[in-house]
Amino acid sequence: EAGVVQSPRYKIIEKKQPVAFWCNPISGHNTLYWYRQNLGQGPELLIRYENEEAVDDSQLPKDRFSAERLKGVDSTLKIQPAELGDSAVYLCASSLGGGATDTQYFGPGTRLTVL
């Protein structure tokens, strides 16, 4: 069974440029998460989807970040414009549901460098 797929794996951009990340969750997983992870830190939740509905986006900086999950499968996370402090690894994870026993499975992440 294929795992969570993310692209691109690496992205280098100049500040003020836009950038987008794509995620394809494990087949059949209804819940999708976007996390940001800085070096030496744990993941920080940005947004959680239940099917196509964003059920928790309280940590998403909405002035520059946006996300969508069309048809409840693939998802895209966008930053516009990017700032130096956005340099991090952006992880996508999925789970069957959003409950306590639903293990989250992570993709390989996108390492973003903003110059």
Partner 1 sequence: GQNIDQPTEMTATEGAIVQINCTYQTSGFNGLFWYQQHAGEAPTFLSYNVLDGLEEKGRFSSFLSRSKGYSYLLLKELQMKDSASYLCAVMDSNYQLIWGAGTKLIIKP
Which spans of this chain sit near partner 1 (rule: CB under 8 A)? 4, 40-45, 48, 56, 91, 98-101, 103-109
Residue 93 corresponds to which tokens in the numbers above?
């994870």
CB of 43 to partner 1, least distance (A): 5
CB of 115 to partner 1, least distance (A): 20
Nearer to partner 1, 56 or 74 (CB): 56
State the Cα–Cα distance between residues 42 and 36, nearest whole angstrom.
Answer: 9
Residue 91's Cβ-count burial label (10 Å; 0-12, 13-18, 19+) is buried
CB of 100 to partner 1, least distance (A): 4
